[in-house]
């Protein structure tokens, strides 16, 4: 079901963005509504079926809270796509550097997607009410917020917009934590590799000296005159 769910997430994001940005009317708006309802139904069926067939339902439930959020909050459905891309990126990767590179790639992708979704959400909530009255302004606000800069030139005034802002700020802190942890892990690994190489070289030198000492002792015994 991963590929159908991925396609459903892409369709949802496209329909959601068209409704928020273009505000279409007539047949296009009806088509967008149908796509949103159909994709929501797909995720509901997927969640219910997986919950029904699992043996440890409670354990599965609290380990898949994101899936529940995808079902309950439609705006989070595209995050399923990012999780699927992460699985693809990590399968078959065994070395630390390759894994770390995929984590960084996932972080960048998830950040861009989060900024886009937050901009759509706050634009929908704030349009005609606050200062965020165009989609470019919403994108600028999302970037400023997720990086925790907070210039204050644009800010939400509605309850829905502020809820989006809180989630985006938490996401920005998480992003900084991931980048910092990844960089620290890379530095620690490089230092550990260098230390390991130094220790290996030292042990080899000591072993060589021991062999030379043994050979010298043997030569001294051979040269010592017999009584």
**Full residue range of the structural domain in which residue 157 is found:** 92-227
Token duo for residue 125: 């909530």
In a domain, 87, yes or no: no
- 105 & 71 share domain: no
* Residue 209 Ramachandran class (φ > 0 left, ψ -120 to 50 alpha, else beta): alpha
Last residue of a domain, one of 54, 77, 100: 77
pLDDT for 170 equals: 83
Q: Are residues 70 and 126 in the same domain?
A: no
As a whole number of Å, the CA-based R_g of the chain is 29
Domain presence at residue 192: yes
Same domain? 122 vs 44: no
Q: Which of 89-103, 107-121, 152-166, 178-192 has the lowest mean pLDDT?
A: 89-103
Structure tokens given for 23: 């505000």
User: Into how many domains does the chain fold?
Assistant: 2
pLDDT band for position 138 (cuts 50, 70, 90) = very high
Confidence of residue 224 (pLDDT cuts 50, 70, 90): low
97 and 73 in a single domain? The answer is: no
Quick check: 99 and 93 in contact, CB under 8 A?
A: yes
Residues 134 and 214 in one domain: yes
In-domain check, residue 84:
no
Q: What is the pLDDT of residues 30-49, one digit of tens each?
A: 998 898 888 888 888 888 88
Are 30 and 96 within one domain? no
pTM: 0.63
Query: Stretch 14-41: mean pLDDT, rounded?
Result: 86
CB 46 within 8 A of CB 5: yes
Q: Is the pLDDT confidence value at 140 over 90?
A: yes
Final residue in a domain of this structure, among 18, 47, 77? 77
CB-based contacts of 74, cutoff 8 Å, min separation 6: 12, 16, 36, 40
Alpha helices in 65-134 (DSSP H): 65-72, 79-90, 96-126
Residues comprising the chain, all counted: 227
Q: Are residues 183 and 210 in the same domain?
A: yes
Say yes or no: 111 and 40 in one domain.
no
- Alpha carbon 63 to its chain centroid, in Å, reads 17
Clarify whether residues 110 and 189 are in a common domain.
Answer: yes
Residue-averaged pLDDT of the chain: 75
Question: Per-residue pLDDT averaged across 167-191, rounded?
Answer: 74
The residue among 42, 77, 112 that closes a domain is: 77
* pLDDT in the model for residue 31: 92
């Amino acid at each position: 079901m991963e590929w159908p769910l991925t396609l459903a997430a892409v369709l949802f994001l496209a329909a959601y963005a068209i409704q928020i940005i273009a505000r279409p009317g007539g047949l296009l708006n009806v088509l967008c509504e149908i796509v949103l309802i159909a994709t929501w139904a797909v995720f509901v069926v997927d969640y219910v079926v997986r919950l029904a067939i699992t043996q440890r339902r409670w354990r599965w439930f609290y380990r898949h809270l994101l899936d529940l959020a995808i079902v309950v909050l439609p705006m989070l459905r595209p995050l399923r796509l990012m999780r699927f891309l992460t699985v693809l990126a990590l399968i078959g990767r065994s070395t630390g550097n390759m894994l770390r590179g995929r984590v960084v790639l996932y972080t960048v992708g998830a950040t861009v997607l989060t900024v886009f979704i937050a901009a759509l959400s706050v634009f929908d909530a704030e349009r005609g009410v606050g200062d965020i009255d165009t989609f470019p302004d919403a994108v600028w606000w999302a970037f400023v917020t997720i990086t925790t800069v907070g210039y204050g030139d644009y800010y939400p005034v509605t309850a829905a917009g502020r809820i989006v802002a809180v989630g985006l700020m938490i996401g920005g802190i998480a992003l900084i934590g991931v980048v910092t942890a990844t960089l620290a892990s890379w530095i620690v690994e490089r230092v550990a590799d260098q230390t390991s190489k130094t220790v290996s070289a030292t042990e080899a030198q000591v072993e060589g000296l021991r062999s030379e000492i043994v050979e010298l002792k043997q030569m001294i015994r051979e040269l010592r005159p017999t009584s």
